[in-house]
Amino acid sequence: MDSTISDIVVNTMDGKDRKLSEYIGKVLLIVNVASQCDNTPQYAGLEKLYQNYKELGLKILAFPCNDFGEKETGSNGDIMDFCTINYGITFELFDKLHAKGEQQHPLYAKLTTLVEPIGPVAWNFEKFLVNKVGVVVARFRSSVKPNSPELIAAIERELGQ
């Protein structure tokens, strides 16, 4: 099995296809997000992380997901408004997708099999770190906050800091 996610296509908020190979050369933090979750305040930390490292090549790709406790019921417009108004989000938000189950998006089908712990996403705001060549190198459960030393160290390692 190919260990990269570069061949996967995702949908932008405005319905356009985006191939993840467009991000080769960047370090990616991929996060399944939700607007009505106990972890929703992590949006603020993700934005701070993005501001601190975007000039060095970090991209945060956020995928709204309603699979966990129906914590993301809004439309793409609602989600975008919520994130912009409440958290000033400037990183990329994508079309809502399924991170688990029968309708699991190919991105999450791959992410959850390439790095420990192998297995389904457990909750909102789980994070996957992808290196500059598209290989998934680390996975962080929802309890690992954006300002966590272990997450920051992993990002800095991949950025070459």
Domain of 104, CATH number, reads: 3.40.30.10
Task: Compute the distance between CA of residue 80 and CA of residue 94 in angstroms, rounded to an integer.
Answer: 9
Q: Is residue 102 part of a domain?
A: yes
Q: Which member of 10, 20, 29, 37 is catalytic? A: 37
> Given this model, what pLDDT does residue 1 score?
53
> Given this model, what pLDDT does residue 3 score?
79
Q: Is residue 114 part of a domain?
A: yes
The reply to whether 37 belongs to the active site is yes
Q: Is residue 67 part of a domain?
A: yes
Sequence letter at residue 69: G
Q: Is residue 45 part of a domain?
A: yes
Full DSSP string of 69-94? TT---S-HHHHHHHHHHHH---SEEB
Q: Is residue 4 part of a domain?
A: no
Which residues in the chain land under pLDDT 50? none
Q: Is residue 1 part of a domain?
A: no
- Which pLDDT tens digit goes with each residue over 101-132? 999 999 999 999 999 999 999 999 999 999 99
Q: How many domains does the chain have?
A: 1
C-alpha dihedral, 156 to 33 to 98 to 138, nearest 10°: 20
Give the structural domain span for 110.
Answer: 9-159
